[in-house]
Structure 1
């Protein structure tokens, strides 16, 4: 059965791969919330622990919108928490801590992104959870992991891990300071993807053995893994990846820039003929990939940009692709939002705003397309503490009187 042969209604009979999987997420900001949002998209039930009054620190990010009660909800929270339920619990309150432990006892996955050591001091570390729920998969996401690292005590955000992994040196121009966060929060989202892989592997192992385990994700490790090209190039003597022997550069069209990657002689021949310079093929100065790079600025760029000067990015790329040369337009976020591929593949999830602004908040959709899993309608983020009473009542069986007492005591918000 190919993708698209069965409508979403027909796919509902298959369910989702993580239906019935319960996730307890003690999380902040982006790396772990992105991972648990991905799990939610595959059907997991995610309960998000937030502190009363403030909540996930991602709620305070900018830009922001107002929730139905007039509280600010920042963009970091909005793009990483769809499809979850929020319960506000004071982890410094013994009764609040006991609520979390009771929820953990019923969870398939317990995850946290405290600084290393904090979860254990609270009595919520791996050993603590394994003692009450040995089947639970325990996930930690931190800057440098929870095992042996000289940097374990260092605080870290995405750009710290990106920079330490060498990503900012890749193709950096001499004499120009490194650009921080050139790819947004890659340190967060990249770490989150490895976290999801680890959790899915641990769930598979749990199904086979009956035992949960500790999944320890370091953002630094994840970024080292993503810098595979830079590290392997360096190890083979290519200290400056900008000198890689191929055409892999941007070129100007009349409405912006496009990328061309040309690494094979037959591609170079097709490129030369398309842009009106068939003589390049027999030019001894352009005999091979290293020569192409050496004469990029004095020969190839003027020829390509002269050809593209009266063409849009899309027109130029369509012509290049038509002769087998890999290319693509360089987009800004507005271009991405308007792209037809992005629309057809449901790669933007709109969330209606609650503060009177007509334009929705847009977040990336799920890039993992499964032929027997329907893509559900977008589910908004939870408002702070929105599901506290519901979770206490349905998950822990507490009475209305007990819930009121816990709220009065400050254990919950």
Structure 2
């Protein structure tokens, strides 16, 4: 997918305006998704910038300041307003801006915005119809023993039980095995909450508080931990099915067989029809019990002459679910990824030829043709234009605020 300027494509959330006091990924991914669906998102950053700008790896912006990977992949289509919220004048700017926006969103540590005078009650006083969204580690509206804890994605992922469920023997937990599950999961639930609150406001005229806890979100996404425990499975047991990795000529592929009819198809495909009448393999538990001594050698003998893609193609034609384990290079050149336009190429501004690749928009709507992506904003790039347009501040007033360190 290429970058370009905003255009007039019909967009599902056109007219929705979001004021985002955000950092890192849990909320920025949500507001980026809203922007990709047509919302106008203005991002408020402190003078030092969103902490995601300080992540590594990084590239340099046109002024030589580092812009980290976390920021680059979560802020397409936004404008950046740089305000010192710790200065009462900065807080007052946000309170003056809030009534001009449909959604006011923040993802600071629980209670931080209230201490700055920008919590839900503060915003609701000046904008009763506003939708206020908080994304935090453990939520803002219900007392919890973890309420004062800072949180990043791996923290809540660990607390969801999935790390311990997947840990083997005395090995340490494998941290962040799927990237930022805790961040993206919370972002998706925040987006759903915003859409529901917008619909509620259409019918009632009232705003409300959308409170998202990252831990709650990950518990929802790692549902097997509590569900399987309640049904008698312990110690990471996921039940009797084949859901394992197998070797092919050039790497690994994943095979999932959980139904008898699929096991029969597998037996026929790899040349072992006798498995269908083998009493050792007559139950799903038997498949698991005999995976290493019987099934794996036969499956990998069959797949050895094939590439992992070829093996999965043959399995798929037989009606058996399988997928190759792609390397990073294989992923970025994959024909599916290219056909679905799922990578955005962001040209670098520091002389490096290889563009920065970030995921595109996974939401495809038949009545919406996505316009070209617009790059993430440089720090404070839109501060003066936003304040002049929204609040009518004069050049003199803006210069005074800038001189006082309130804006930058």
State TM-score, norm by structure 2.
Answer: 0.96
Q: Are 1:162 and 2:149 counterparts?
A: no
Q: CA deviation at 1:241?
A: 4.1
Secondary structure at the counterpart of residue 110 of structure 1: strand
**Separation (CA, whole Å) in 2 of partners of 1:171 and 1:398:** 56
Matched with 2:4 is none
**Separation (CA, whole Å) in 2 of partners of 1:88 and 1:167:** 38
Matched with 2:112 is 118
Contact 1:14 1:372 in 2 (8 A): no
Question: Any residues of structure 2 matched to 1:23-62 within 5 Å, and which?
Answer: 23-52=18-47, 54-62=48-56
Q: Are 1:80 and 2:74 counterparts?
A: yes
Q: Are 1:177 and 2:160 counterparts?
A: no
Question: Any residues of structure 2 matched to 1:189-200 within 5 Å, and which?
Answer: 189-200=184-195
Contact 1:62 1:75 in 2 (8 A): yes
Matched with 1:322 is 317
Q: Are 1:346 and 2:341 counterparts?
A: yes
**Separation (CA, whole Å) in 1 of partners of 2:315 and 2:340:** 23
Q: CA deviation at 1:374?
A: 1.0
Matched with 1:18 is 13
CA RMSD, aligned part only?
A: 1.2
Matched with 2:216 is 221
1:181-231, CA deviations, whole angstroms, 9 ceiling, x for partnerless residues?
A: 111111001110000001110110011100000000000100111111221
Contact 1:64 1:72 in 2 (8 A): yes
Secondary structure at the counterpart of residue 256 of structure 2: strand
Q: Are 1:106 and 2:100 counterparts?
A: yes
Matched with 2:147 is 152
Secondary structure at the counterpart of residue 46 of structure 1: strand
Q: Are 1:333 and 2:328 counterparts?
A: yes
**Separation (CA, whole Å) in 2 of partners of 1:70 and 1:173:** 45
**Separation (CA, whole Å) in 1 of partners of 2:291 and 2:213:** 39
**Separation (CA, whole Å) in 2 of partners of 1:275 and 1:375:** 44
Question: Any residues of structure 2 matched to 1:185-334 within 5 Å, and which?
Answer: 185-242=180-237, 244-334=239-329
Q: CA deviation at 1:277?
A: 1.1
**Separation (CA, whole Å) in 2 of partners of 1:159 and 1:302:** 36
Of 341, 360, 380, which residue of structure 1 is paired with 2:355? 360
**Separation (CA, whole Å) in 2 of partners of 1:71 and 1:243:** 47
1:225-272, CA deviations, whole angstroms, 9 ceiling, x for partnerless residues?
A: 111122111100011444511111110111111011011111111101
State TM-score, norm by structure 1.
Answer: 0.95
Contact 2:9 2:371 in 1 (8 A): no
Contact 2:156 2:214 in 1 (8 A): yes
1:98-121, CA deviations, whole angstroms, 9 ceiling, x for partnerless residues?
A: 111111121100011111111111
**Separation (CA, whole Å) in 2 of partners of 1:96 and 1:13:** 33
Of 73, 82, 86, which residue of structure 2 is paired with 1:92? 86
Q: CA deviation at 1:13?
A: 7.4
**Separation (CA, whole Å) in 2 of partners of 1:332 and 1:395:** 47
**Separation (CA, whole Å) in 1 of partners of 2:30 and 2:322:** 31
Matched with 2:370 is 375
**Separation (CA, whole Å) in 2 of partners of 1:240 and 1:348:** 38
Deviates more, 1:384-393 or 1:171-180: 171-180
**Separation (CA, whole Å) in 2 of partners of 1:243 and 1:187:** 22
Which stretches of structure 1, 4 residues or more, deviate above 4 A after TM superposition?
none
Kindly tell me the number of residue pairs found equivalent between the two proteins.
401
1:359-398, CA deviations, whole angstroms, 9 ceiling, x for partnerless residues?
A: 1111111111100111221210000000011101111111
Contact 1:351 1:378 in 2 (8 A): no
Of 124, 129, 138, which residue of structure 1 is paired with 2:132? 138
- Which ranges of structure 1 fall in alignment gaps of 5 or more residues? 1-11
Q: CA deviation at 1:400?
A: 1.2
**Separation (CA, whole Å) in 1 of partners of 2:334 and 2:21:** 36
**Separation (CA, whole Å) in 2 of partners of 1:231 and 1:95:** 48
Q: CA deviation at 1:17?
A: 1.2
Q: CA deviation at 1:139?
A: 0.3
**Separation (CA, whole Å) in 2 of partners of 1:23 and 1:281:** 58
Secondary structure at the counterpart of residue 69 of structure 1: coil
